[in-house]
Structure formats: structure tokens, C-alpha cells
Chains A and B, each alone.
Chain A
């Protein structure tokens, strides 16, 4: 089983609130990712990190921000939540060893609903 954790698992919040989705992994992986997935749709990469102090934006434009101060921790923050942010957010990590065949391990996801 992968050792990657996300909190909260479910969040219902009002428009305009600031939220932080937590993601932690205990595998010592350098690479971490945030994906957004709507029901029945593909995963879209919104942020990723190669290591401490490294953050990059993904393919899908997102109003969220991330930080990577510690290897194990990769939180995602929305400064002002809107109904359009309603989705499932999946955090993942992978090792640098193995080249192109690195498996990505996923956390259980946070299901966000913005009213």
C-alpha cells in the first residue's frame, strides 16, 4: 500500500473561503503532483514539484497555489473558493529512480464542493 495521505477527504465550503488541501507522503519521493478530476473525466495535472522549493504549473490552468518546503509535504491552497472549483483533487508522488517507468502513487483524494 502506498503511504500517501490527503486531508480532508471531503470538504463542503462556501464561496470566497480560503482553503488548504493537505498532502503528505512517507516514501521519500522527490516528485509530487496535484491532479483535478471531474466524475467520468480524465485526470488533469494542475501542479507538480521535482523536490523541495520546486513548484511548476501543470497543463490545466488553476487558480490554486502550492508550496514544497519539505520533501514529504505538498499542500494546495485556494485563496477564494468558487463553485467552479468543485471537483476531486488527487495528490500523487513518484520516485526519480526507474526513469520513464516511475509508478505514480496516489492519495485517496479530497472531494471538494463549493456552494
Chain B
């Protein structure tokens, strides 16, 4: 079993719709969580850090469920520009020198 698992998609969603996808992690001691966005053939860029139970930034909401060991990303009123691969990233330790574990990503395609 992979340490961080994501549904690879693609999720094909009409513009304006709400879409959500989950990411599960295997290490219950994991301390910090992130969503990165990666456009095709580009580098990853931080979308959100996930604090405590979750947080919101505009149309994006990230939630953490420690009991079930998953984090979710919700995108409301989706835009064409939201089309990208969304990477779930987990820090498995309280030690900030520990290395991040990256999911393979969920591909999102927003259609007009």
C-alpha cells in the first residue's frame, strides 16, 4: 500500500460545478498536510496548507479527517483555469527535517 494514495482521475467537470477529491495516508502520526497544484509539464506550486481540521481560501476548502486518515480538497464554482493535477503531500513526522511524501496526483479537467 502506498503511503499517500489519490484517485488519479481524470475528473471531468463542467465549468461552475463543485468538485471534491480525497487523499488517504497510511501513517497515523503524520503531522502536516498540503495540496499542491501542478499544470501539465510545469513545476508543482503550493495551493494550500491544511491546518488542524481544515481551512478555506476563496473557492478552495481543504479538510483533514485524522480518524479516517484522509484529507480532502473541495473546489466550488470551478473555472477552466482550475484544470490541473492536484498533488496531496504529507509530512509523516513532527520533525520538520523529515521529508515530504507526495501522492501521484488527481487530474482535474474543467469543461466549458
Residues of A whose CB lies within 8 Å of any CB of B are 33, 35, 40-45, 48, 50, 58-59, 90, 96, 99-104, 106-109, 111
| Docked-complex contact B91 and A106, CB < 8 angstroms | no
Q: Is B32 an interface residue (CB 8 A)?
A: yes
Task: Count B-side interface residues using an 8 Å CB cutoff.
Answer: 24
Contact of A96 among B31, B42, B91, B96 (CB under 8 A): B96
Q: Is B100 an interface residue (CB 8 A)?
A: yes
B34, B43, B49 interface centre (most CB from chain A within 10 Å): B43
Q: Which residue of B lies closest to A90 (CB)?
A: B43
Q: Is B97 an interface residue (CB 8 A)?
A: yes
Contact of A42 among B51, B97, B103 (CB under 8 A): B103
Bound CA–CA A107/B45 (angstroms)? 10
* Min CB–CB distance A52 → chain B (angstroms): 16
Secondary structure at the B interface, as helix, strand, loop or mixed, is loop
* Min CB–CB distance B51 → chain A (angstroms): 8
* Min CB–CB distance A104 → chain B (angstroms): 7
* Min CB–CB distance A18 → chain B (angstroms): 25
| Docked-complex contact B104 and A40, CB < 8 angstroms | yes
Secondary structure at the A interface, as helix, strand, loop or mixed, is loop
| Docked-complex contact A103 and B97, CB < 8 angstroms | no
Contact of A104 among B8, B32, B100 (CB under 8 A): B100
**Residues from chain B with Cβ under 8 Å of A100 in the complex:** 31-32, 91, 94, 96
Which residues 1-41 in B have Cβ within 8 Å of A in the complex?
A: 4, 8, 31-32, 34, 41
Bound CA–CA A108/B38 (angstroms)? 11
**Residues from chain A with Cβ under 8 Å of B46 in the complex:** 103-104
Q: Is B68 an interface residue (CB 8 A)?
A: no
B49, B94, B102 interface centre (most CB from chain A within 10 Å): B102
Contact of A50 among B31, B43, B44, B97 (CB under 8 A): B97
If A106-B44, A106-B45 touch, whether A42 touches B102 (CB-CB below 8 Å) is yes
Q: List 9 A-B contacts (CB under 8 A).
A: A35-B102, A40-B104, A42-B4, A43-B44, A50-B97, A100-B31, A101-B34, A103-B34, A104-B100
